[in-house]
């Protein structure tokens, strides 16, 4: 069914805030093009919006906010754009670390982090170290992340463990599989309750393929740099009016 829900008569309920929200931040390039700017200007504006939306999510009481910042397929973009995207965490943390600390936000990263340039990796590691004792929302950057790569790496790790006689093939269940995914650090919060994709595209684009099994999805027409705190509130209201059945009858 096409999403025709009109949220104008509804208010945000603080009792049913999704614990884990994942966002595919799409539309930076189009935002820039509309203004006659280079694509990287859109990424820069998108980076600034990460701060706004992270603080709003934290204020709403979201426990985990996962942001798809760079996919395993994004390496296929022109080198200049890839280089710019690789530098974004450096800019982001150098400007916004005080805001993250003030809001008690803990930074983590899920992705094939060892494959990104050393200086970017170091800055992400430093942000994780500096915020490790924060007890508020977890801001999870999916950086060099791909859902298929996540599942493949888990499969390889499990095959190795069977080979090493850690357990039998038959012992592999969903719990053991999840323990080997990149999101294992999130424990019981690993699966998003709500996925938001901006810019009107209605694809998953290789994001959290295992973890999204029962996630509610909202597709917002705004381009990521224009996506506002009010948009987030409205998208959460949409989530709150969904009937989550997890394959059961009620």
Tell me the closest approach of the beta carbon of residue 5 to ligand FPP, in angstroms: 25
> Is residue 50 within the footprint of ligand FPP (CB under 6 A)?
yes
CA distance 125 to 225: 26
User: Which of 229, 227, 205 minimizes the C-alpha distance to 30?
Assistant: 227
Q: Which pair of tokens denotes residue 179?
A: 């323990």
Shorter beta-carbon distance to ligand FPP: residue 144 or 183: 144
Active site residue 134: no
Shorter beta-carbon distance to ligand FPP: residue 143 or 239: 143
> Is residue 193 within the footprint of ligand FPP (CB under 6 A)?
no
Q: Is 97 exposed, middle or buried (0-12, 13-18, 19+ CB in 10 A)?
A: middle
Which residue of the set 28, 49, 74, 144 is catalytic? 74
Tell me the closest approach of the beta carbon of residue 115 to ligand FPP, in angstroms: 15
CA distance 77 to 80: 8
Active site residue 26: yes
Residue number of the CB closest to ligand FPP reads: 29
Cβ-based neighbour number of residue 159 at 10 Å? 12
Tell me the closest approach of the beta carbon of residue 46 to ligand FPP, in angstroms: 3
**In which order are the strands placed within the sheet that holds 64-71?**
106-110, 138-145, 64-71, 20-24, 194-197, 216-219
Q: Which pair of tokens denotes residue 40?
A: 């990287």
Among 17, 23, 27, 107, binds ligand FPP (CB under 6 A): 27
> Is residue 146 within the footprint of ligand FPP (CB under 6 A)?
no
Q: Looking at the annotation, which residues are catalytic?
A: 26, 74
Q: Which residues sit at the interface with ligand FPP, rule CB under 6 A? A: 25-30, 43, 46-47, 50, 69, 74, 85, 88-89, 92, 141, 224
């Amino acid at each position: 069914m096409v999403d025709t829900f009109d949220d104008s008569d509804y208010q945000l309920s603080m009792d049913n805030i999704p614990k884990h929200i994942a966002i595919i931040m799409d539309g930076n390039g189009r935002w820039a093009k509309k203004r006659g700017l280079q694509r990287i200007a859109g990424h820069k504006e998108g980076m600034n919006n990460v701060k706004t939306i992270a603080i709003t999510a934290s204020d709403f009481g979201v426990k985990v906010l996962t942001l798809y910042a760079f996919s395993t397929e994004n390496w296929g973009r022109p080198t200049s754009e890839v280089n710019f995207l690789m530098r974004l965490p450096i800019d982001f943390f150098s400007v916004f670390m005080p805001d993250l600390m003030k809001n008690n936000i803990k930074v983590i990263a899920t992705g094939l982090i060892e494959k990104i340039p050393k200086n970017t990796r170091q800055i992400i590691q430093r942000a994780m170290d500096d915020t490790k004792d924060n007890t508020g929302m977890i801001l999870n950057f999916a950086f060099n992340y791909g859902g298929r790569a996540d599942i493949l790496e888990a499969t390889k790790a499990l095959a190795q463990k069977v080979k090493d006689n850690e357990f039998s093939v038959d012992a592999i269940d969903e719990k053991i599989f999840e323990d080997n995914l990149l999101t294992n650090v999130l424990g019981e919060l690993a699966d998003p309750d709500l996925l938001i994709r901006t810019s009107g595209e209605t694809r998953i684009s290789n994001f959290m393929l295992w973890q999204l099994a029962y996630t509610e999805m909202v597709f917002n027409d705004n381009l990521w740099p224009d996506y506002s705190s009010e948009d987030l509130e409205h998208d959460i209201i949409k989530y709150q009016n969904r009937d989550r059945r997890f394959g059961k009858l009620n």
